[in-house]
Amino acid sequence: MAVLGLGRSGLSAARALREGGAEPLCWDDNAAARGRAEAEGFVLRELAREGAFEGVARLVVSPGIPHLYPAPNPVIARAWEAGVPVDNDIGLFFRSVATPDWEMFDVAPKVVAVTGSNGKSTTSALIHHLLQHAGRESQLAGNIGRGVLDIDPPGEGGVVVLELSSYQTDLARALTPDVGVFTNLTPDHLDRHGGLGGYFAAKRRLFSEGGPDRCVIGVDEDEGRYLANQMGEGPTDDRVIRVSSGRKLSGPGWMVFARKGFLTEWRKGRQVGAIDLREMRGLPGAHNHQNACAAYAAVRTLGLAPRVVEAGFRSFEGLPHRSQIVAEAGGVTYVNDSKATNVDSAVKALLAFGRIRWICGGLMKEGGLEGLAPGFGNVAKAYVIGREAAQFALGLPGVEADICTDMETAVARATAEAQPGEVVLLAPAAASFDQYDSFEARGADFTARVQAALEA
């Protein structure tokens, strides 16, 4: 078995293959990655060379490696020529997860797989949290948490919750979750998928390849409505649960929606559950209410009662760097949303809170900042960081902007000027790489600066 790419998923795949009795032949263009694999005793083989696939049964590819657009990786093209099937760790997982031991279980384990453009990390983590809160065995893996081949075999009634990116769903040769969740669709990774249609097609494979027993589908975009229609056999088919944030859904089917901060579950034409999401500190804003609806629907298919879900919502603290409350002092709340690296995610953060002291800026992406305008009404003042801080501030018409450049200055000024009831929010609307190695490092710096400012 050849393994291309020796990051987290590639190395875990190689380890699992070796544990299962296969012989992994590993390669990565990065010499340091090859060194780490070699230190673990793996055999290296340069897979792009002539004859590299002789005796190889399958090629396992890491998600970051292009296999079709914008151009196939040379190793993948070589595998095609040799007739060697190309797969990834997600495909291997679904082909191997059910073992003969499952025949001994009274309640077979389940797999919940979550995909979509926005919110899939929070939705996956929330499902995992709700299950654990209810006393159910749950493991979180895939694009979040552990590598999918690093988890333990699920036990009696256990649940595996997978966050799956389009890179992962696009290549997996087996996709057979018990519950499939589609959050939403907005343009992303278009070069990797040859356009929006290819991007949606990659997401849709989670539902079309094997057909989940239950489908939780966000229907706030045409693509979601199309997918829900494709998966259902009529308006009363409760194998499909439609989810929405911002509008009331109607009909005889199964649906979960949030309006004005209230989650409502309807089934067979009547209301069967309701939760006031406005009280949930770890789920602020309409975008998190959509995540809550999707997670609620998923765990309802697994048997959790509405009151149990509500209690689980209350104890959910959110994910690091995603609308994460890091401090409260003097009536001011400090929120780390460093993951808001683009305009779409940043405007959702702005709309989630009231009067905001907004720390923003960084390495600007293509497309400009015009999409931020709907959130400007909530901004008391912007504190702009990054090497391009002055240029970034020019893209915020009508917003009072303080050119701070660095995080320490921005946090100090925002903290000094914030009034009770306001929120100091890091939602950069830009990449971090002009000043930080990652958005995680940027968020950690914000948190540290907040603590220092409050202790001063």
In the annotated binding site for ATP, the residues are: 116-122
Residue 109: which of 153, 54, 165, 47 has the closest Cα?
A: 153
Query: Is 385:425 a contact under the CB 8 Å cutoff?
Result: no
Q: Which are the contacts of 299, defined by CB distance < 8 A and separation ≥ 6? A: 127, 130, 131, 134, 309
CA Rg, the chain, in Å? 23
CA 155 vs CA 102, 134, 138, 199, 293: distances in Å: 8, 16, 9, 34, 27
C-alpha 269/C-alpha 304 separation (Å) is 20
Query: Is 69:192 a contact under the CB 8 Å cutoff?
Result: yes
Residue 287: which of 224, 243, 331, 227 has the closest Cα?
A: 243
Token representation of residue 329: 């002092």
- Tell me the HSE value of 324 on the side-chain side, using a 13 A CA sphere: 18
C-alpha 264/C-alpha 217 separation (Å) is 15
Residue 128: which of 315, 325, 278 has the closest Cα?
A: 315
Known binding-site positions: 116-122
Token representation of residue 250: 């109607």
**Angle between the 196-208 and 222-231 helix axes, to the nearest 10 degrees?**
30
C-alpha 417/C-alpha 356 separation (Å) is 11
Residue indicated by tokens 């966050």: 163
- Tell me the HSE value of 83 on the side-chain side, using a 13 A CA sphere: 2
Give the full edge-to-edge strand order of the sheet including 179-182: 138-142, 159-163, 110-115, 179-182, 214-218, 240-245, 254-259, 262-267, 270-276
